[in-house]
């Protein structure tokens, strides 16, 4: 069971990561019932926000079940796979197209993904490794208790790091230096950072019971005592 769960979590991690890279170029505007500072009446988000948040859920489950070293190995191997993704996408873009008009549209949709991947690579390398390290340090500090604290604490801090690096590089620095896509003005950058981080915090809170459920289920099937309850100090 533990081996099946390992494969499933790695598959979820990689699938969510690749989906995030391919969908991040689209900016979403989620309307709010009230106007808030910075974000105004709607929250601006990269299309990858939900998919990328799932990678932290998968890595937290993986780290809890298989340890820091295994989790960091998964994170760093997946980092290298980003270059494979980039090579495959640009290989397809540069290959001769049977329909020139469609080929131009195809390029216009996927080429901006280069700046997305550039921002994502840096943000990913820093934030995902921090997530694993923070999760492990919180586990040591609490003697293996308080899974909810490990999940929320590691995700909240790593998502803050990830959001700032990703938005600034993907939507400002990379477009200016790579000439792919259009750099966003400062106001939109701030709105993206705040909006994306608010969503990620919400997801971190919502996914905590699911982290408990996954870890508890796998451990129960592996004859290991699960850390399941929020009560009595957990």
Q: Please report the pLDDT score of residue 231 as a whole number.
A: 38
Q: Examine the pLDDT at 118 and tell me if it is beyond 80.
A: no
pLDDT level of residue 234 (50, 70, 90 thresholds)? very low
> pLDDT tens across 72-95, in order?
899 888 888 878 888 888 898 889
Q: How far is CA 181 from the centre of its chain?
A: 22
Percent of the chain scoring above 90 in pLDDT: 3
Cα–Cα distances (Å) from 3 to 62, 119, 211, 213, 214, in that order, read 11, 33, 17, 17, 14
Question: Terminal CA-to-CA distance of the chain, rounded, Å?
Answer: 25
Q: Please report the pLDDT score of residue 9 as a whole number.
A: 93
Q: Please report the pLDDT score of residue 142 as a whole number.
A: 84
Q: Examine the pLDDT at 228 and tell me if it is beyond 60.
A: no
β-pairing verdict for 27-36 and 40-46 = antiparallel
> How far is 132 from 113, CA to CA, in rounded Å?
26
Q: Please report the pLDDT score of residue 223 as a whole number.
A: 58
pLDDT level of residue 156 (50, 70, 90 thresholds)? confident
Q: Please report the pLDDT score of residue 224 as a whole number.
A: 45
> How far is 185 from 198, CA to CA, in rounded Å?
20
Q: Please report the pLDDT score of residue 83 as a whole number.
A: 84
Q: Please report the pLDDT score of residue 112 as a whole number.
A: 63
Average pLDDT over all residues of the chain: 80
Write out the chain in H/E/C secondary structure. CHHHHHHHHHHHHHHHHHHHHHHCCCEEEEEEEEEECCCEEEEEEECCHHHHHHHHHHHHHHHHHHCHHHHHHHHHHHHHHHHHHHHHHHHHHHCCCCCHHHHHHHHHHHCCHHHHHHHHHHHHHHHHHHHHHHHHHHHHHCCCCCHHHHHHHHHHHHHHHHHHHHHHHHHHHHHHHHCCCCCCCHHHHHHHHHHHHHHHHHHHHHHHHHHHHHHHHHHHHCCCCCCCCCCCCC
Q: Examine the pLDDT at 225 and tell me if it is beyond 60.
A: no
Q: How many CA atoms lie within 13 A of 104 on its CB side?
A: 2
Q: Examine the pLDDT at 153 and tell me if it is beyond 60.
A: yes
Q: Please report the pLDDT score of residue 180 as a whole number.
A: 58
Residues in the chain: 234
> pLDDT tens across 164-203, in order?
888 888 778 777 776 656 777 888 888 888 887 887 788 7
Q: Examine the pLDDT at 126 and tell me if it is beyond 60.
A: yes
pLDDT level of residue 10 (50, 70, 90 thresholds)? very high
């Amino acid at each position: 069971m533990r081996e099946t769960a390992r494969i499933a979590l790695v598959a979820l991690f990689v699938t969510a990561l690749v989906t995030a890279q391919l969908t991040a170029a689209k900016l979403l505007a989620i309307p709010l019932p009230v106007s808030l500072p910075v974000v105004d009446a709607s929250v601006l988000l990269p299309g990858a926000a939900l998919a990328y948040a799932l990678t932290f859920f998968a890595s937290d489950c993986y780290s809890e079940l298989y340890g820091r070293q295994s989790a960091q190995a998964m994170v760093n191997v997946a980092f290298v796979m980003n270059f494979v993704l980039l090579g495959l996408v640009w290989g397809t873009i540069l290959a001769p197209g049977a329909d020139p008009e469609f080929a131009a549209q195809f390029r216009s949709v996927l080429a901006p993904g280069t700046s997305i991947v550039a921002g994502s690579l840096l943000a990913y390398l820093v934030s995902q490794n921090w997530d694993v390290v923070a999760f492990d340090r919180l586990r040591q500090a609490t003697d293996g208790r308080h899974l909810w604290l490990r999940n929320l604490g590691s995700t909240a801090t790593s998502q803050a790091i990830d959001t700032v690096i990703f938005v600034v590089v993907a939507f400002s620095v990379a477009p200016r230096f790579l000439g792919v896509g259009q750099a966003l003005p400062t106001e939109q950058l701030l709105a993206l950072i705040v909006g994306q981080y608010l969503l990620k915090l919400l997801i971190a809170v919502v996914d905590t019971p699911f982290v408990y459920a996954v870890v508890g289920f796998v451990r129960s099937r592996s004859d290991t005592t699960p850390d399941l309850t929020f009560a009595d100090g957990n």
